[in-house]
């Protein structure tokens, strides 16, 4: 709270530049008629407007011009106080005016991640636990989404949290508090659902460099004969990482490497079918549980 101190200085023609400090009492209520009416002391008076007198509040220049009535300066403070970011209130008990600084809400700084949901589980309190791999302030994090989480699609339409599953690509803002665990854990403030990717977890049959990036094939080998069941095409938009979100080089991939691929959802009708690859997660040597039931969608071939 600011105690009102008005420094009133005469124009430069006054060589002494006399200055007064005026206590903001009832006589300083010009411009605060509501408070004055409450006291029942309004009367009709005539005064002299002095534009040659400059007024500052705590050292800040104002546009206030006092009115002198019978030698007493009266100051219209309400509008000027608002312009300086203060709220004016009148204390009838002490017959003083108080200026309170308007407190602006501090903008919360959230952390961000753009990635793929690798697992989803509903908790006992009704929130949803989302394990996310991707890029941002963290490469791997556990986010909790609840009724306070704003969830929309890329067009701004509301999305139910229950519709998020393993394979959902999202952009999420979380925090500002993040648990000091590994991976970190935090509350999801907002989630934008980008797409629902298909999920396939199996061993790589081959990896080849192409003009546009890389091509990963999956399939079976019987009696020394390879049969390709799916071709995934990787480009600049493709992220290759381990199960902790750490980057993996394409040259580290080879035949037999077990991975979880997030691709599609569009798949061509060609033989073998092809689809764009968005995230490729290299699994640990011990393998990993297959993605939960319903985590991926049925491939929809392009017409």
What are the tens digits of pLDDT across the range 15-64? 333 333 333 333 344 444 444 455 555 566 677 776 776 666 666 676 77
Q: Nearest to residue 77, comparing CAs of 87, 51, 42? A: 87
pLDDT at position 70 over 80: no
Parallel, antiparallel or unpaired: strands 168-179 and 150-153: unpaired
- Kindly indicate the confidence band of residue 270, based on its pLDDT and cuts at 50, 70 and 90: very high
Render pLDDT for 277-286 as a digit per residue (tens, 0 to 9): 999 999 986 3
The answer to whether residues 15 and 110 touch, using CB atoms and an 8 Å cutoff, is: no
Q: Which residues face 277 on adjacent strands?
A: 234, 263
Q: Nearest to residue 8, comparing CAs of 78, 70, 57? A: 57
Cα–Cα separations (whole angstroms), residue 202 to 39, 58, 218, 241: 83, 71, 8, 15
Domains of the chain with CATH codes: 2-101 (no CATH), 111-196 (2.40.50.140), 198-301 (2.40.50)
82-90 average pLDDT score: 72
The answer to whether residues 168 and 196 touch, using CB atoms and an 8 Å cutoff, is: yes
**Residue 99: its H or E element:** strand 96-101
Percent of the chain with pLDDT over 70: 68
Rounded CA separation 164/154 (Å): 14
| Residues 247, 249, 250, 253, Cα dihedral to 10° | -90
Which contacts of 206-211 are long-range, i.e. CB under 8 A and separated by 24 or more positions? 206/255, 207/250, 207/253, 207/254, 207/255, 209/250
Render pLDDT for 206-215 as a digit per residue (tens, 0 to 9): 999 999 999 9
> What pLDDT is attached to residue 95?
61
> What Rg, from alpha-carbon coordinates, does the chain have?
34
218-230 average pLDDT score: 90
Percent of the chain with pLDDT over 90: 55
> What pLDDT is attached to residue 28?
40
Rounded CA separation 20/13 (Å): 17
Rounded CA separation 116/193 (Å): 10
Q: What is the pLDDT of the chain when averaged over all its residues? A: 79
The answer to whether residues 262 and 197 touch, using CB atoms and an 8 Å cutoff, is: yes
Render pLDDT for 149-204 as a digit per residue (tens, 0 to 9): 999 999 999 999 999 999 999 999 999 999 999 999 999 999 999 999 999 999 99
Q: Nearest to residue 185, comparing CAs of 249, 138, 146? A: 138
pLDDT at position 12 over 70: no
Cis peptide before 183 (omega within 30 of 0): yes
Sign, CA dihedral 294-296-297-301, equals negative
pLDDT at position 301 over 80: no
Render pLDDT for 138-155 as a digit per residue (tens, 0 to 9): 999 999 999 999 999 999
Phi, psi angles (nearest 5°) of residue 124: -65, -30
Rounded CA separation 195/267 (Å): 14
72-81 average pLDDT score: 70
> What pLDDT is attached to residue 85?
73
To the question of pTM greater than 0.85 for the whole model, the response is no
* Tokens read off for 238: 């493709």
**Range from 86-100, 183-197, 289-303 that averages highest in pLDDT:** 183-197
pLDDT at position 100 over 90: no
The answer to whether residues 231 and 276 touch, using CB atoms and an 8 Å cutoff, is: no
> What pLDDT is attached to residue 87?
76
* Tokens read off for 131: 């394990």
**Residue 53: its H or E element:** none
């Amino acid at each position: 709270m600011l105690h009102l101190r008005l420094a009133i200085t005469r124009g430069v023609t006054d060589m002494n530049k006399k200055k007064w400090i005026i206590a903001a009492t009832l006589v300083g209520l010009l411009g605060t008629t509501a408070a004055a009416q409450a006291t029942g002391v309004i009367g009709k008076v005539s005064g002299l407007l002095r534009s040659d007198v400059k007024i500052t509040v705590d050292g800040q220049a104002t546009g206030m011009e006092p009115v002198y009535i019978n030698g007493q300066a009266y100051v219209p403070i309400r509008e000027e106080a608002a312009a300086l970011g203060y709220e004016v209130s009148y204390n009838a008990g002490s017959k003083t005016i108080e200026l309170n600084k308007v407190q602006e809400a501090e903008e919360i700084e959230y952390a961000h991640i753009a990635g793929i949901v690798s697992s989803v589980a509903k908790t006992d309190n009704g929130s949803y636990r989302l394990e996310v791999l991707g890029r941002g302030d963290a490469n791997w994090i556990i986010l909790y989404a609840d009724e306070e989480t704003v969830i929309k699609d890329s067009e701004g339409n509301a999305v139910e949290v229950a519709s998020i599953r393993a394979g959902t690509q999202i952009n999420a803002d979380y925090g500002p508090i993040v648990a000091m665990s590994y991976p970190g854990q935090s509350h999801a403030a907002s989630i934008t659902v980008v797409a629902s990717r298909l999920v396939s977890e199996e061993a790589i049959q081959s990896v080849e460099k192409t003009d546009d990036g890389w091509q990963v094939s999956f399939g079976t080998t019987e009696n020394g004969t390879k049969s390709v069941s799916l071709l995934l095409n990787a480009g600049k938009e493709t992220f290759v990482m381990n199960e902790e979100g750490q980057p993996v080089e394409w040259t580290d991939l080879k035949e037999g490497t077990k991975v979880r691929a997030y691709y599609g959802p569009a798949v061509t009708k060609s033989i073998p079918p092809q689809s764009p690859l968005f995230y490729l997660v290299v699994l640990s040597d011990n393998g990993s549980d297959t993605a939960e039931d319903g985590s991926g969608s049925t491939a929809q071939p392009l017409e």
